[in-house]
């Protein structure tokens, strides 16, 4: 588990999501990366049931349950600004039992699927973010395997991102800002994905127009 940076690649002008993804993958292959299969990251949203809310009308918290094919036997559960739980896959079954407390917002399942590339110590995943049948955006994840401390290798990651993303290189993710010298873990990756998905969810209308 190395330091990972998740960012969004905006769709190129006049092109569809599919074509942009193809562009990116071609760039990577020219760079010398080798394809190593596919990946998938998905996210389901749950909100606290009305019955458990106090009479004062506290706003219900949103809980995200995510899966990552990179960690096939794990399931991640996180709150917006709160803790992230890493659990066994039996957690999904547990959520069914907790129906009384957490209700799933059904229309909000969002996922990203794509190919996985290995370039020496870097692991690059380019995926299409879909919500239901429609593609909403492109997610790019880059992982630098050898390093586990974010502050040490951020500059290297940035340079690598620049080499194939060009001008669309993102800034330092928020998770890095909090704990610069702490060991990076899979939970941080999932937090980044959650933020990305939330951003994409809010941007609903734009990609739909772009596809046409």
Query: What is the Cα–Cα distance from 86 to 190, expressed in whole angstroms?
Result: 10
The answer to whether 49 and 103 are in contact (CB under 8 A) is yes
**Please, what is the minimum distance in Å from the beta carbon of residue 50 to another protein?**
31
Footprint on residues 57-76 left by another protein (CB under 8 A): 70-76
Counting Cβ atoms within 10 Å, is residue 107 exposed (0-12), middle (13-18) or buried (19+)? exposed
Which of 113/168 has CB closer to another protein?
Answer: 113
Cross-strand bridge partners of residue 68: 41
**Please, what is the minimum distance in Å from the beta carbon of residue 76 to another protein?**
8
**Please, what is the minimum distance in Å from the beta carbon of residue 132 to another protein?**
28
**Please, what is the minimum distance in Å from the beta carbon of residue 85 to another protein?**
9
Which of 94/206 has CB closer to another protein?
Answer: 94
Instruction: Confirm or reject binding of residue 1 to another protein (CB under 8 A).
Output: yes
Contacting residue, 22, 80, 88, 159, with another protein by CB under 8 A: 88
Contacting residue, 12, 40, 49, 86, with another protein by CB under 8 A: 86
Instruction: Confirm or reject binding of residue 156 to another protein (CB under 8 A).
Output: no
Query: What is the Cα–Cα distance from 101 to 111, expressed in whole angstroms?
Result: 24
Footprint on residues 169-208 left by another protein (CB under 8 A): 185-187
DSSP H helical ranges for the chain: 17-31, 91-97, 150-165, 174-178, 186-202, 205-211
- How does DSSP classify residue 180? S
The answer to whether 2 and 148 are in contact (CB under 8 A) is yes
Question: In this structure, what token pair is assigned to residue 170?
Answer: 């993102």
Which of 21/66 has CB closer to another protein?
Answer: 66
Which of 33/200 has CB closer to another protein?
Answer: 33
Query: What is the Cα–Cα distance from 146 to 134, expressed in whole angstroms?
Result: 36
Q: Which stretch binds another protein (CB under 8 A): 82-90, 94-102, 134-142, 161-169?
A: 82-90
Q: Which residues make up the interface to another protein (CB under 8 A)? A: 1, 70-76, 86-90, 185-187
């Amino acid at each position: 588990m190395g330091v990972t940076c998740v960012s969004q690649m905006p769709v190129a002008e006049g092109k569809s999501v599919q074509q942009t993804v193809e562009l990116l993958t071609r760039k990577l292959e020219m760079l010398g990366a080798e394809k190593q299969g596919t990946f998938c990251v998905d996210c389901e949203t749950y909100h606290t049931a009305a019955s458990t809310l106090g009479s004062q009308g506290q706003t219900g918290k949103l809980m995200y349950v995510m899966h990552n094919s990179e960690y096939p036997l794990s399931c991640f559960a996180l709150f917006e600004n709160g803790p992230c739980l890493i659990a066994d896959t039996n957690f999904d079954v547990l959520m069914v039992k907790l129906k009384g407390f957490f209700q799933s917002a059904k229309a909000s399942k969002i996922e990203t699927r794509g190919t996985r590339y290995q370039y020496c110590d870097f692991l690059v995943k380019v995926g299409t973010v879909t919500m239901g049948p429609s593609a909403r955006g492109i997610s790019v994840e880059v992982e630098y395997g050898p390093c586990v401390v974010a502050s040490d290798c951020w500059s290297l990651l940035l340079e690598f991102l620049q080499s194939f993303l060009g001008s669309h290189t993102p800034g330092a993710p928020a998770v890095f800002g909090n704990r610069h010298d702490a060991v990076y873990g899979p939970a941080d990756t999932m937090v980044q994905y959650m933020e990305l998905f939330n951003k994409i969810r809010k941007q609903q209308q734009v990609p739909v127009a772009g596809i046409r």
